Amino acid sequence: MSDTVKVALVTGGSSGIGAGVARRLAASGVKVVVADIAEPADVRCDVSVLDDNLRAVDYVMKEHGRLDLAFLNAGVASGCGVGEDFDVALYRRAMGVNLDGVVFGAHAAIPALKASGGGVIVATASMAGIVGIPLDPIYAANKHAVVGLIRSLGVALAPDGIRVQALCPSFADTAILGDARVLLEAEGFPIMEVDEVVDAFEKVVASEGTGECWFVVPGRPSEPFAFRRAPGPR
Ligand SMILES: NC(=O)c1ccc[n+]([C@@H]2O[C@H](COP(=O)([O-])OP(=O)(O)OC[C@H]3O[C@@H](n4cnc5c(N)ncnc54)[C@H](O)[C@@H]3O)[C@@H](O)[C@H]2O)c1
């Protein structure tokens, strides 16, 4: 892990990818604060609530006096589609956790990162932020939004010495897969171990870029996804 990271905040760190990252950070000597709605968490934080994010960062600053890395990782599957299976409460929840959670988390972390002389924000987007997902269009929509946010913030926060990166995993072996696991296994689609995503996270933190979206796909070394240049005016 990068030598410059002394204190980290991990949202959604009570299970899955967040827990794996929290363990790896702690093992390399980083002081880690886990913020989650589920146990075990150092601070209870519903990332879809702005005040909870502010409180989580306050807790980090009171406990450890600085913040070097904010891993904005909490996320949920949407649980509904846009047609007959639409459910406005599930839609709001998915957008609230997966998109608001990253916006609010970044908003809360930026002053603390600045006060610490700069740092890194890593958001867990998904490959669903890069390609369309017919099985869960709402999840794809909020993950695409996170990708757009990170690509934009990378440039916007460069003058403050804050790098902003997205981690875009394919399917990994965590609770979020739910019933989709059976479908994936039937299709023979490889499901990654959490550790493979954590390895990619380490590469992202050690990288020097900003505004990048690193894919994490079975059997391929992780690297920033190469977006095509958009056509400019002629
Ligand atoms: N596992 C995959 O296949 C996969 C692939 C791509 C992206 N992701 C993303 O990875 C991230 C982590 O998910 P995971 O796979 O580890 O699943 P997970 O279900 O194991 O972990 C998600 C964590 O987020 C927490 N959480 C949920 N709602 C929250 C809220 N409102 N406030 C705070 N915490 C909340 C949960 O309690 C849990 O600890 C998510 O953003 C997910 O979308 C997962």
Q: What is the pLDDT of residues 41-67, one digit of tens each?
A: 999 999 999 999 999 999 999 999 999
Cβ of residue 2 lying under 6 Å from some atom of ligand 1: no
Strand order in the sheet with 7-11: 43-44, 31-36, 7-11, 69-72, 119-124, 162-169, 213-216, 223-224
Q: Is residue 226 helix, strand or coil? A: coil
| Token pair in block for residue 89 | 């409460």
In the reported structure, the alpha carbon of residue 122 is separated from the centroid of ligand 1 by a whole-number distance in angstroms of: 14
Predicted confidence at residue 180, as pLDDT, reads 87
Q: What is the mean pLDDT of residues 143-169?
A: 98
Neighbours of 89 (CB within 10 A): 9
Ligand 1 center to residue 16 CA distance, Å? 7
Cβ of residue 142 lying under 6 Å from some atom of ligand 1: no
For residue 3, pLDDT over 90 is answered with: no
**Angstrom distance (rounded) from CA 66 to CA 115:** 8
Q: Is 1 within 8 Å of 199 (Cβ atoms)? A: no
Is the pLDDT at 187 greater than 80, yes or no?
yes
β-pairing, 162-169 with 119-124?
A: parallel
Position 128 pLDDT exceeds 80: yes
- Tens of pLDDT, residue by residue over 190-207, are 999 999 999 999 999 999
Ligand 1 atom closest to 18 (CA)? 16
Per-residue pLDDT band for 115 (boundaries 50, 70, 90) equals: very high
What does the DSSP 8-state code read for residue 189?
-
Q: Indicate the pLDDT class of residue 2, thresholds 50, 70 and 90.
A: low
State the distance from the centre of ligand 1 to the C-alpha of 234, rounded, in angstroms.
43
Q: Which residues pair with 33 in a beta bridge?
A: 9
The yes-or-no answer on residue 139 being catalytic is: yes
Whether residue 210 has its Cβ less than 6 Å from ligand 1 = no
Strand partners for 10: 34, 71
> In the prediction, which pLDDT does 144 show?
98
Mean pLDDT within 86-92: 98
Rounded Cα distance, 203 and 189, in Å: 24
pLDDT computed for residue 224 by the predictor? 98
Ligand 1 pocket member 129 (CB < 6 A): no
**Global pTM?**
0.98
Q: According to the model, what pLDDT value does residue 1 have?
A: 60
Are 16 and 8 in contact, with CB atoms under 8 Å apart? no
What mean pLDDT is predicted for residues 89-94?
98
Per-residue pLDDT of 19-28, as tens digits, reads 999 999 999 9
Q: How far is CA 113 from CA 66, 88, 127, 158, 225, in A?
A: 7, 35, 27, 12, 26
Question: What phi and psi values does residue 188 have, to the nearest 5 degrees?
Answer: 75, 20
Which pLDDT tens digit goes with each residue over 149-159? 999 999 999 99
Higher pLDDT, 2 or 13: 13
69-72 and 7-11 beta bridge pairing: parallel
Q: Whole-angstrom distance between the N-terminal and C-terminal Cα of the chain?
A: 45
Residue 4: which pLDDT band, with cuts at 50, 70 and 90?
Answer: confident
What pLDDT shows up at residue 91? Answer: 98
Residue located via tokens 């909490």:
74
Mean pLDDT value across residues 142-170: 98
Quickly count: other Cβ atoms within 10 Å of residue 202's Cβ: 16
Query: What are the structural domains, with CATH classification, of the chain?
Result: 7-218 (3.40.50.720)
DSSP one-letter code for 71: E
pLDDT for the residue 44? 98
Give the pLDDT of residue 166. 98
Q: 35-66 burial, b for 16+ CB within 10 Å, e for fewer?
A: bbbeeebbbebbbbebebbbbbbebbbeebee
Mean pLDDT of the chain: 97
* Residue 142: other Cβ atoms inside 10 A: 27
